[in-house]
Structure 1
């Protein structure tokens, strides 16, 4: 089966082709430079950028892979959650292709696609425990199969990725700043008492990072010298000041890692028969998160499955792979399926050929 994947859920425009579970080509256009001026994603600008570049990316992918459109068996598109305007660009493009070619279209849950993405390079065994850590979501799932995800814990307010973005913004780091929080935090050891580990004194598997964001904001307000000037990282900075900032960032990384460790460990204790721990999403690229999850998996004697760094951020390869997994089971949508913005549950309303 050959599946075309289309990704436009936020600020990355992507198209990819997956044949029988293996990636054969992809194209990605980033909007980082466009949004950096504003310190974050501007939804209307993101939508317009998708509209501008998506057709050209699609044509370039088809030409580069030397395939005829008639060879494609499924068109998979991220239907949500995400920015509604951005999603609509991809969904309507996919529907237009389907209508023009009579190839069945399939709306894919963007979050599930993240957790399935390691399957492009590794063998996934089910049931697995899945931790999705991204800018908008921090969720724990029991994954019984590519079409069966049971939500065990979720973000109650701010996700881990939002806390990373806010921390970077408080320090005037250039956008996107989460990578810099990880990079500079790795230069020092954490003060494990600097920030409280949030929302762990309970029995549930949910997450809340709003309190941690507040603690970081208070610390920066009390130490304004930690902020950089003009969103430009200094090349030669006073060592004591940079060390103090890096200790704060290391402590923040540690606190997020401890939160994830407690909740994932609790989930592994409560769920029997788990064959692997899958960690995915943009924050899964964080070095502390990867180490903490490796320790957690080792403690429970299950393999840790991580996507390569290039598949942690939004991409079309994961959409194409998720579409392949569902498509080979006979699932598809008619042209009435909707884009689902963040805050709403993406329904499993597929039709089936079987």
Structure 2
């Protein structure tokens, strides 16, 4: 089975081919430079870039893989959640391709695709506990199969990745700033009393990082010398040793607050899935070194297998969409051409047509 994956949910335009669980090829274009001047993603710009880039990337993928559009059995497309305009570009392209080639259509939940991404590197053990930590979502799931996800805890306001982005912006770090917070934080030991752990003084499984974000904003306002003079990448290299050490302490402390909050919530979610064989951690923040270390400690202490995607599979990509789509197609889960794109804030429906 040859599956084409299409990803346009935010600011990454990507296509990939997966055949029988093996990645055949992929093409990805990042829009970081276009959005960097605004300090975040501008939806209209993202949509226009997807519209411009998607046909080009598709032709390049077909040419490099030596495949023809008629060879594609399944077209898997990220249908949501995400930016509606951006999603519509990918969904429309997928439908047109299915209509012209006769391929079957499978709409993929972008969040599930992140958690299924490691299937490209290894077999996934089920049942599993899933932790998705991305820019827009921080969720925990019980996962019984590639098509059976039970949401245990969800984002109430700011997701972990969003908190990283906003703190980095307040410090005037180069965009995207999360990796700079991670890298600089590794140069210091955290002050565990500096920032609160977010939304943990309750029995809830849900996540809220707005309080942590506010605490960091207040700290930065009280210490304005922490803010970089410019957003240029070179500004981090020009820091004095004293300022670099102070900033590293702040970054390490923020990283710790996020990582320990995730650990606490995962501990609670595990009580809802005590028969889990593994914990799967995915999403952009799954590349964070401290988060990975905390999740390894959790897995080891509970006798669970830790499943982490490679760094290239943590951020948005089409390989994960193709992999998830192939798994769903093998379970007979398809969509008709009237499938809708689902924006952030709405639940992606389980409206498959089983064949």
Shorter-chain TM-score: which interval?
over 0.9
SS at match of 1:15: strand
Q: TM-score, normalised by structure 2?
A: 0.98
Corresponding position of 1:349? 351
* Alignment RMSD (CA, Å): 0.8
Task: Tell me, yes or no, if the aligned pair for 1:117 and 1:311 is still in contact at 8 Å.
Answer: yes
Q: C-alpha displacement at 1:238, in angstroms?
A: 2.2
Equivalent runs, 1:279-298 vs 2, <5 Å: 279-298=281-300
What per-residue deviation string (whole Å, max 9, x for no partner) do you get for residues 127-182 of structure 1? 10000000000000000111110000001111000110011000001110000000
Q: C-alpha displacement at 1:235, in angstroms?
A: 2.5
Corresponding position of 1:29? 29
SS at match of 2:115: helix
Q: Does 1:307 align with 2:309?
A: yes
Equivalent runs, 1:224-235 vs 2, <5 Å: 224-232=224-232, 233-235=235-237
Corresponding position of 1:105? 105
Q: Which moved more, 1:318-327 or 1:329-338?
A: 329-338
In structure 1, C-alpha distance between the alignment counterparts of 2:272 and 2:16, rounded to whole Å: 37
What per-residue deviation string (whole Å, max 9, x for no partner) do you get for residues 17-57 of structure 1? 00011111100000011111111100000000000010010
| Change over 3 Å in CA distance of 1:147–1:234 after alignment to 2 | closer
In structure 2, C-alpha distance between the alignment counterparts of 1:341 and 1:49, rounded to whole Å: 18
What per-residue deviation string (whole Å, max 9, x for no partner) do you get for residues 217-255 of structure 1? 000000000000121224332222211111011000000
Moved over 3 A (4+): none
In structure 1, C-alpha distance between the alignment counterparts of 2:237 and 2:204, rounded to whole Å: 45
Q: C-alpha displacement at 1:68, in angstroms?
A: 2.4
Q: What are the ranges of 5 or more consecutive residues in structure 2 without an aligned counterpart? A: none
Task: Tell me, yes or no, if the aligned pair for 1:268 and 1:300 is still in contact at 8 Å.
Answer: no
Equivalent runs, 1:148-187 vs 2, <5 Å: 148-187=148-187
In structure 2, C-alpha distance between the alignment counterparts of 1:326 and 1:5, rounded to whole Å: 12
In structure 1, C-alpha distance between the alignment counterparts of 2:67 and 2:239, rounded to whole Å: 53
In structure 2, C-alpha distance between the alignment counterparts of 1:237 and 1:267, rounded to whole Å: 41
Q: C-alpha displacement at 1:270, in angstroms?
A: 3.1
In structure 2, C-alpha distance between the alignment counterparts of 1:235 and 1:90, rounded to whole Å: 39
| Match for residue 255 of structure 2 among 232, 253, 256 | 253
In structure 1, C-alpha distance between the alignment counterparts of 2:170 and 2:126, rounded to whole Å: 41
In structure 2, C-alpha distance between the alignment counterparts of 1:235 and 1:207, rounded to whole Å: 34
